[in-house]
Amino acid sequence: MFIGENLTNLRIMHGYSRKQLSDMIGVTEQAVWQYENNYTSPKLQVVQALKEIFKVKNKYFYSDDILSRTAGSENIHVMNIAYRSKVVNVLSKTQAEAKHVEYLDTFVDQITARLRYPTMNIIQLRDEVIRYLNTTKDSRPEQINTVAKLARENLQFRDYTNEDLLFLIEKSGVFVFEKAIGDEIDAYSLWTNKDRPYIILGNIKRSSARRNFDIAHELGHLLLHYRTEFTSLDRKEHRTIEKEADLFAGIFLLPEDEFRADVKTIMHPTNPDAYIDLKEKWNVSLQVLGYRSAHIGLMTSKDHRNFYAALHRKSYLKREPLDEVIPIQKPMKVKTIIDLVSNKNLLDLHQLLESDWKVEESFLHRLTGIDATFFSKYLVRQQDFGLENLVHLSDRVSERI
């Protein structure tokens, strides 16, 4: 028997309306509604079309899908998704991303099911931030400054570089993925109900510097806006928390003492080209370097306007020097975990695809943003995420980790 809820889950995750899907498979919108509500079952050729669109097996539609069997929807709240976006409160888009993370979180549950983590740094940091914010009398800008400094220290960043930014964020316990989000959304982040933090980065070609800012911005949301109901915010409130995350990102990426010493060496502070060496050092955009200089009083308001005008005149607001040179960091944590559990025979990826998920390899590629060849070849760039502390549960190790 065809299970309509499975189709609904896939359609929502892909962001299709019933009308859009009906046009794709050559039926009426009413027919799609009937399929999803179990009034009628689609013909074989329609099921075949659905299989091709969603990259699943035929049998996917005839048994409870992975979300139904794991109650994944109970762990993700639409209202808690923080967008780094040019648009706000687009319900259909928010629902699509929430459904995507439901599938993603279920996948992460499965690949980590036989592993046990030490207490994650990001959880400890978030709790420390919550205690501070609940007791301090500091102004909001002072709070953001303090939280950014706490984050850089607790996540073990060196004072003089952002070289390992994405690696350290992932190592702290954040799960970072790439996804084709669309032109209007740069990135988003959320905490699940089980306290697993996610950052989803758009995969539209961006510079390494701009990606670093996106990551730091989303880290700001995770720490400053825990459990905020983003979908209930009006435009003014949304702009406020976006500015807070921007402020956090600037402070986090450019620690004041080291950055002050750097800027003192610049002879022409209103010339963006004078900051190119600092862009290479910190891997942040010229625009952010200028903003941070003005924010800590190293550039007057007039000088900053001249600096920004120069950025515009040189077309640096679209593409900056070194954007094509500095390599873009890619998420590696999940690939490393899959490599670990596969090599130790703790996970049979083929069985997971065939029997559990009933999907094609390309489904996992779209879901995780990981290159399609990885799932068959397990090509992993080795890097230490502290996985030596993960324990196979069947080893019956007695100590608590």
Q: Is residue 374 part of a domain?
A: yes
Helices and strands: H and E segment counts in the chain: 19, 6
In a shared domain, residues 323 and 341 = no
Q: Is residue 78 part of a domain?
A: no
Amino acid letter, 57: K
By residue range, what is the domain housing residue 308? 259-331
* CA nearest neighbour of 196 among 259, 114, 132, 104: 104
Q: Is residue 316 part of a domain?
A: yes
Rounded CA-CA distance 15/53 in Å is: 12
In a shared domain, residues 324 and 343 = no
Handedness of CA 72, 73, 79, 81 (dihedral sign): positive
Q: Is residue 147 part of a domain?
A: no
Rounded CA-CA distance 327/166 in Å is: 12
Q: Is residue 277 part of a domain?
A: yes
In a shared domain, residues 324 and 371 = no
Number of domains, the chain: 3
CA dihedral 169, 205, 367, 338 (to 10 degrees): -50
* Domain end marker among 14, 48, 64: 64
Q: Is residue 152 part of a domain?
A: no
In a shared domain, residues 344 and 282 = no
In a shared domain, residues 275 and 317 = yes
In a shared domain, residues 263 and 327 = yes
Dig out the tokens for 306 from the structure: 């001249």
Which domain CATH number covers 13? Answer: 1.10.260.40
Q: What is the chain's pLDDT, residue by residue, as a tens digit (401 residues)?
A: 999 999 999 999 999 999 999 999 999 999 999 999 999 999 999 999 999 999 999 999 999 999 988 865 577 877 778 875 555 556 677 888 999 999 999 999 999 998 887 778 999 999 999 999 999 999 999 999 999 999 999 999 999 999 999 999 999 999 999 988 876 678 999 999 999 999 999 877 679 999 999 999 999 999 999 989 888 888 899 999 999 999 999 999 999 999 999 999 999 999 999 999 999 999 999 999 999 999 999 999 999 999 999 999 999 999 999 999 999 999 999 999 999 998 898 988 888 888 899 999 899 999 999 988 888 764 344 455 555 555 554 443 333 33
This prediction's pTM = 0.91
Q: Is residue 361 part of a domain?
A: yes
